[in-house]
Amino acid sequence: MKYCRKCGKELDDAAVVCPHCGVLVNEDALKTTKQSNTIAVVGFIFSFLIAIVGLICCIIGLKKSAETGTGKGLSIAGIIISVANMVLGWLIYLPVLQQLAFAGLGI
C-alpha cells in the first residue's frame, strides 16, 4: 500500500492522484504519451486509392492498435471502405469484361 506524501492517508496502488487531498501521487504516470498508429492512418487513406493496399495496412493497423491504444476505429473504417471499394470495383469490372469478351468473339 502507498501513502499520500501530503496528507498521509492510505492510497490504492494504482492511484495517480490522492482522493483525499488531490495531490499528485505519481508524476511519471501523467508523462506517458500514447504512440500514434501511423499504419492505420496510411491504410485508411489507401482504402480510397488502392483498396488492397489499404486493406492490408488497416489489418496491420488493427493488430497494432492493441499495443498503441490508438487507431482501432480508423482501421475498422479502412477495412470496411477497402472491402466496399473492391466489391464495387468487381461489380463494375465484370460486366465490362463480359462485354469486351463478347465483342471480341463477335457474338
Task: Supply φ then ψ for residue 11, to 5 degrees.
Answer: -120, 155
Which domain covers residue 8, as residue numbers?
Answer: 1-32
pLDDT for residue 58: 96
Number of domains the chain is built from: 2
User: Are 59 and 99 in a shared domain?
Assistant: yes
pLDDT for residue 67: 86
User: Are 87 and 48 in a shared domain?
Assistant: yes
Give me the sign of the Cα torsion angle 28, 33, 34, 39: negative
pLDDT for residue 14: 77
Over the stretch 58-77, which tens digit does the pLDDT of each residue have?
999 999 998 888 899 999 99
% of the chain exceeding 90 in pLDDT:
48
Q: Look up the pTM and report it.
A: 0.61
User: Are 12 and 45 in a shared domain?
Assistant: no
Helical segments of 32-71, H only: 38-49, 51-68
